[in-house]
Structure 1
């Protein structure tokens, strides 16, 4: 609840800043403009299947690509709004991320969970430039740092590798929970934009997505009794991925034992290069009578 309050307050402050900026600046329509862009990013996630179950912990070897397209409208010398559609993948693997010698992480190593999740996102954010452009797009500053924040909707599908094939994990109910595969996220971050020429900008941006979902990786709370799991695949993922010498699934952790860390929702983050093409505004010629 405290986190939700913090992000809500930040969003309210951002909207207040937009309103005050819009009312303080006289920015003619002739100076407003649109741009379209493409983004190629490296995508990671923070969650339970990482070296540490905390936000700063990630494994760079789990980095996967993300591709996006955007449409941006410039409203004032500092304020723009951007809509973006992106698609990328997050992954995690206990056998590569967890340290069996770490007393706090040994359960993650024994859990032996691995997953991948392809996420599609539609986001709308407000962008605040730290250096204003009070002229037309042609005379915009060469280098502009900026920050952004907004709201996004996403949909994913966590999958795990079973007998050489990736299977959807959400229908298996490995923790006895019917969780949602998508939801609302709070995107925020910053970047820097460089003017290449009159029509093109190139930028570097890092963006964080705070979700309200702890199941991007299909791991959140505790183990359940294997007898309550309805399929062999569910018992494989829900029982610690451990096989006995006879080939039967063993319940590595007893029902109720820790499988994940439920007090932290999952995040995903993108770090990428953007290329924007400015759509030159049409200037209407004055009419004479």
Structure 2
């Protein structure tokens, strides 16, 4: 749900290593392994309904990407802006802090997944795919070292990166089918108001933004080391690159 993922106050470090293959001075492919973390907290929202919803999460992201880069000016220039796009496969596993302990959310079925309340809602997969697109700039330091700065967006095929997608199923109903912990973490409004007698949301009331899939982004500063001699960006040349 974008409502838990769109706040810059919740940015985290990310790391990647990638392998480039240059077909010519304009086009290259990239295979990339990356690690990052995403998180969200309703307390940062400017909308009262989200603050009262009182949900939060964090998740590590492990991704493998296959990308194509287009070097706009060609790689012979000192400064080389580029565009990139492709797909990735990524693993995520949202968790939340509850009474001092981290609790993984997917096994609980906080929106009735895996229960007879919603037979149409199986538990979501923790491995999914996304469309990747972005832009960046490479700068030549010397014949063996380049640096690059880029930002890339991931439009995922999942709406559960934050464990929030559809609507509330009702506290008592969810407690019956999925257990007390699932019911407690599905609806945390009572915690916000400090009301121990809170009866829970009405079943069917909006919990997330089910019309929009989740997305996340990575901003990376890459060091590009050339592992072979000659012009590293000639056709057929290969380059190994770590970044953060």
In the superposition, the TM-score normalised over structure 1's length comes to: 0.71
- Note the C-alpha offset of 1:142: 0.7
Query: 2:80 matched to 1:132?
Result: no
1:179 aligned residue: 124
- Note the C-alpha offset of 1:236: 1.5
Query: 2:164 matched to 1:228?
Result: no
Query: 2:2 matched to 1:47?
Result: yes
SS of equivalent residue, structure 1 residue 242: helix
1:48, 1:217 within 8 Å by CA — same for their partners in 2? no
Query: 2:82 matched to 1:146?
Result: yes
1:229-244 aligned within 5 A: 229=175, 230-243=178-191
Q: Matched residues in 1 for 2:103 and 2:35: separation?
A: 20
- Note the C-alpha offset of 1:76: 1.1
Q: Matched residues in 2 for 1:245 and 1:122: separation?
A: 43
1:72-111 aligned within 5 A: 72-100=20-48, 106=49, 108-111=50-53
- Note the C-alpha offset of 1:282: 7.8
2:117 aligned residue: none
SS of equivalent residue, structure 2 residue 138: strand
Q: Which runs of 5+ in 2 are unaligned?
A: 114-122, 232-244
Q: Matched residues in 1 for 2:46 and 2:104: separation?
A: 23
- Note the C-alpha offset of 1:261: 1.1
SS of equivalent residue, structure 1 residue 131: coil
In the superposition, the TM-score normalised over structure 2's length comes to: 0.84
SS of equivalent residue, structure 1 residue 64: coil
2:103 aligned residue: 167
Instruction: State the Cα RMSD in Å.
Output: 1.9
RCO comparison, higher one (Cα < 8 Å, 6+): 2
Q: Which runs of 5+ in 1 are unaligned?
A: 1-45, 51-57, 101-105, 134-139, 284-289
1:53-72 aligned within 5 A: 58-72=6-20
- Note the C-alpha offset of 1:252: 3.3
Q: Matched residues in 2 for 1:246 and 1:157: separation?
A: 30
Q: Matched residues in 1 for 2:35 and 2:4: separation?
A: 21
Distance change in 2, residues 1:266/1:159 (3 Å): same
1:217 aligned residue: 162
2:216 aligned residue: 268
Q: Matched residues in 2 for 1:149 and 1:253: separation?
A: 41
How many residue pairs align between the two structures? 218
- Note the C-alpha offset of 1:201: 0.6
- Note the C-alpha offset of 1:175: 0.3
Q: Matched residues in 2 for 1:245 and 1:202: separation?
A: 51
